[in-house]
Amino acid sequence: LQENIDKAECHLARFKEKGVLNRIGGEDIPAADNATFETISPVDLKPLAGVAHGKAADIDRAAKAAQAAFPQWAETPGDARKKLLHKVADAIVARAEEIAFVECMDTGQSLKFMAKAALRGAENFRFYADRAPEARDGKSLRTDGQVNITTRVPIGPVGIITPWNTPFMLSTWKIAPALAAGCTIVHKPAEFSPLTARLLIEIAEEAGLPRGVWNLVNGFGEDAGKALTEHPLIKAIGFVGESRTGSMIMKQGADTLKRVHFELGGKNPVIVFADADLERAADAAVFMIYSLNGERCTSSSRLLVEASIYDKFTAIVGEKASRIKVGHPLDPETVIGPLIHPVHETKVLEYMEIARSEGATIATGGHKVDGPGGGCYVAPTLFTGANNRMRIAQEEIFGPVLTAIPFKDEAEALALANDVQYGLTGYLWTADVTRAFRFTDRLQAGMIWVNSENVRHLPTPFGGVKSSGIGRDGGDWSFDFYMETKNVAFAT
Ligand code: NAD
């Protein structure tokens, strides 16, 4: 652990010394009014860096830089974009350790998962690099006296707004397809964890990305974020964050008719029938809520269990949860590190009181942990004896907290699963294939896994229904968002 802490100190030194400036048109630029804000580490609550506090003037400058770079980037041949994006991926792999260590200290996510998240960021770039040459392809449609040719063109400069939970991986997931499509970008990362977004843009520019194609403005949602969504030069907003922020962005973007793509919150169910492989189901349920600190949009925060096995199954899950290591994020054995920020820790801990007051039982955890550095550590928690009307069953807690609810039959399981405002993911465990087809057909979620935890296959669509999102990422879906479809009809 000490060796890792020392390495992290080395990687963080530059941020401590020089802070984090905005990057606009290929240049380091302080905020227009020279304002900065401090980002702290959730490990010890000590400052990591002073960060440029961008506002409307900075967004305006960045949007103009993205606009100026757009014509040339949009016309850059697909093969050239492919080559360049692969170079970005190579550079991410070369700096994967630095990225992972900085991410751990900025977010509190454990090295166990962040080492993979950095490499997954490289995979996202490779995936869209390979598709860049075909991004504009379309099809032809013929009718009597007419041949139609349908193609796609990049929509223009786009704004990308990302959350704090796994900022590096999520930024690559949104930015790689935009670049592959031929769009230029203004990125506004989350104020709680801005460091790896800065590494990412540096990596891209060092790999040869032309100046102004990608611009980075740090700041808060209510000023920099809002200004980005309102800017007339920005044609679309790719947003990942809370559902209520998505709703605000939709209003803010209305005057300029922004195209929006939202990946929002979830209260995702894992549904376990008595005929399932219970040991595997328990491992998956534990993984899906307690990995990534439970600060994961696709986490399974509701456990719906058939009544006949409810006591036995929740006992297995509770026992596994109580053995999970909570600790320093750079300890290779740690599964749960500190939560992102004291404000968020307070919110998560409030749900322990809410659970008690609603009459649920705290079967495991339910308290703060005195961890290394004295940061925002919360014990993996399991609520039992809950019902779907409770706030602990309806609200996104976004921490290592699982609410277990019994059901008596398939109809009730489906009704409970669908009875929330969200619909991002669902995880179904059963040995009955016919039931799996029937159930998944009626389950309101954008992504469902049967007898599996969340295993992403990048060509498949990613996104949610109801309050969990609008639009899909992945495969060709991202291109549909970042591009306009254009039809030309020729008379014959
Ligand atoms: P958040 O909505 O508070 O903030 C996300 C980003 O939006 C930040 O960069 C913030 O500065 C910005 N923002 C805030 N107000 C804004 C405004 N008025 N205009 C423009 N931008 C604004 O979300 P968070 O707390 O950072 O992240 C946690 C949330 O993200 C959870 O709800 C989680 O489920 C969700 N999330 C969803 C996915 C997904 O793929 N569906 C993935 C990760 C996280």
217-265 pLDDT, tens digit per residue, is 999 999 999 999 999 999 999 999 999 999 999 999 999 999 999 999 9
The residue-averaged pLDDT of 45-57 equals: 98
Q: Is 254 exposed, middle or buried (0-12, 13-18, 19+ CB in 10 A)?
A: exposed
Q: How far is CA 216 from CA 353, 364, 424, in A?
A: 40, 42, 28
Complex ipTM more than 0.90, yes or no: yes
For residue 71, the CA-to-ligand 1 centroid distance in Å is 30
Q: Is 450 exposed, middle or buried (0-12, 13-18, 19+ CB in 10 A)?
A: middle
Spell out the residues 6+ positions from residue 355 whose beta carbon is closer than 8 angstroms to its own. 362, 366, 383, 386, 390, 392, 403
pTM score above 0.90: yes
pLDDT bracket for residue 203 (50, 70, 90): very high
Q: Considering 103, 263, 345, 395, which one is annotated as catalytic?
A: 263
SS3 content of the chain, % helix, strand, coil (to 5): 45, 20, 35
Number of Cβ within 10 Å of residue 367's Cβ equals 12
Q: Name the token pair of 37.
A: 């804000």
Amino acid at 183: C
For residue 234 and ligand 1, the question of a CB distance below 6 A is answered with: no
For residue 162, the CA-to-ligand 1 centroid distance in Å is 6
The per-residue pLDDT for range 97-109, each reduced to its tens digit, is 999 999 999 999 9
| Alpha helical stretches, state H, 307-385 | 307-322, 342-358
The per-residue pLDDT for range 324-352, each reduced to its tens digit, is 999 999 999 999 999 999 999 999 999 99
How far is the C-alpha of 347 from the C-alpha of 464, rounded, in Å? 24
> Strands 236-240 and 302-306: what pairing?
unpaired
3-class SS of residue 339? coil
How far is the C-alpha of 308 from the C-alpha of 298, rounded, in Å? 27
Spell out the residues 6+ positions from residue 357 whose beta carbon is closer than 8 angstroms to its own. none
What pLDDT, on a 0 to 100 scale, did the predictor assign at position 270? Answer: 98
Q: What percent of the chain has pLDDT over 70?
A: 100
What pLDDT, on a 0 to 100 scale, did the predictor assign at position 227? Answer: 98
pLDDT bracket for residue 25 (50, 70, 90): very high
pLDDT bracket for residue 31 (50, 70, 90): very high
263 among known catalytic residues: yes
Q: What is the 8-class DSSP label of residue 325? A: P
Where do we find the tokens 């990422």?
473
Q: Phi and psi of 359, rounded to 5°?
A: 95, 10
Distance of CA 87 to the CA centre of its chain: 23
The per-residue pLDDT for range 137-171, each reduced to its tens digit, is 999 999 999 999 999 999 999 999 999 999 999 99
The residue-averaged pLDDT of 185-205 equals: 98
For residue 296, the CA-to-ligand 1 centroid distance in Å is 12
For residue 263 and ligand 1, the question of a CB distance below 6 A is answered with: yes
Looking at every residue in the chain, the average pLDDT score rounds to 98
The per-residue pLDDT for range 282-298, each reduced to its tens digit, is 999 999 999 999 999 99
Where do we find the tokens 């962005």?
249
For residue 108 and ligand 1, the question of a CB distance below 6 A is answered with: no
